[in-house]
Amino acid sequence: MTEQLDELADLIRDERLRDLRVALDDLHTGDIVDFLERLGVKDRAVAFRLLPKDTAVEVFDQLDQALQHEIVEGLKDSDVAHFFESLDPDDRVRLMDEMPASVARKMLRHLDARERSLTNIVLGYASGTIGRAMSPEFVAIPEHWTVGQALEKVRLAGADAETVYTLPVVDGHRLLKGVVSLRELMINDEDTVVSDIVSEADSVDADHDAEDAARTCADRKHLAMPVTDKEHRLVGIFTVDDAMDILERAESEDAARHGGAEPLHRPYLSTPVLTIMRSRIVWLLVLALGATLTVQVLDTFEATLEAVVVLALFVPLLIGTGGNTGNQAATTVTRALALGDVASRDVFRVLWREVRVGVTLGSVLGVLGFLVVSWRWDWEVGAVIGLTLVAICTLAASVGGMMPLLGKKIGADPAVFANPFITTFVDATGLIIYFVIAMAVLGL
Site residues for a second copy, 91-120, by CB under 8 A, read none
Q: Does 141 bind a second copy (CB under 8 A)?
A: no
Using rule CB under 8 A, residue 444 touches a second copy: no
Q: Verify binding: residue 30, a second copy, rule CB under 8 A.
A: yes
Q: Which is nearer to a second copy, 72 or 397 (CB)?
A: 397
| 34 sits near a second copy (criterion: CB under 8 A) | yes
Helix (H) or strand (E) holding 181: strand 176-181
Nearer to a second copy, 11 or 336 (CB): 336
CB of 268 to a second copy, least distance (A): 4
- Is residue 182 a contact point for a second copy (CB under 8 A)? yes
Residue 133 binds a second copy (CB under 8 A): no
Q: How far is the CB of 187 from a second copy (least distance, A)?
A: 5
* C-beta of 79 vs 413, nearer to a second copy: 413
Considering the complex, state which of residue 41 and residue 284 has its C-beta at the smaller distance from a second copy. 284
- Tell me the closest approach of the beta carbon of residue 78 to a second copy, in angstroms: 27
Closest CA to 343 of 333, 351, 355: 333
Kindly state whether residue 273 participates in binding a second copy, applying the rule CB under 8 A. yes
Spatial CB neighbours of 358, under 8 Å, sequence gap ≥ 6: 325, 329, 393, 394, 395, 396, 397, 398
Q: In terms of CB distance, is 77 or 202 closer to a second copy?
A: 202
Give the whole-angstrom CA distance, residue 388 versus residue 442. Answer: 13
Q: Please, which residue, 105 or 317, has the CB nearer to a second copy?
A: 317
Question: What is the maximal distance between C-alpha atoms in the chain?
Answer: 93
Q: For residue 403, which of 414, 388, 394, 412 has the smallest C-alpha distance? A: 414
CA dist 182 to 81, 126, 200, 209, 354, Å?
33, 31, 15, 28, 48
> What is the secondary structure of 364-401 as a DSSP string?
HHHHHHHHHHHHHS-HHHHHHHHHHHHHHHHHHHHHHH
Q: Which of 35, 138, 314, 425 binds a second copy (CB under 8 A)?
A: 314
Site for a second copy in 364-403 (CB under 8 A): 364-365, 368
Chosen residue from 129, 228, 327, 398 binding a second copy by CB under 8 A: 327
Q: What is the CA 377 to chain-centroid distance, rounded?
A: 48
Backbone angles phi, psi at 143, to 5 degrees: -65, -25
Strand order through the sheet with 204-205: 204-205, 224-228, 234-239
Asked if 173 is part of the footprint of a second copy (rule: CB under 8 A), the reply reads no
Return the residues of window 214-233 that contact a second copy according to CB under 8 A: 216, 218-221, 223
In the complex with a second copy, the residue whose CB is nearer, 22 or 368, is 368
What whole-number distance in Å separates Cα of residue 60 and Cα of residue 11? 21
Strands 224-228 and 234-239, bridge-based pairing: antiparallel
Q: How far is the CB of 16 from a second copy (least distance, A)?
A: 22
- Contact residue for a second copy among 283, 370, 425, 435 (CB under 8 A): 283
Annotate 90-128 with b (16+ C-beta within 10 A) or e (fewer): bbbbbbbeebeeebeebbbebbeeebeebbebbbebeee
Identify which range of 44-52, 68-76, 168-176, 319-327 contacts a second copy by CB under 8 A: 319-327
Interacting residues with a second copy between 333 and 352 (CB under 8 A) = 333-336, 339-343, 345-346, 349-350
The single residue among 22, 126, 186, 367 that binds a second copy, judged by CB under 8 A, is 186
Cβ of residue 432: shortest distance to a second copy, in angstroms? 12
Dihedral in degrees, nearest 10, Cα atoms 206, 207, 209, 214:
0
Our finding on whether 308 is near a second copy (CB under 8 A) is no
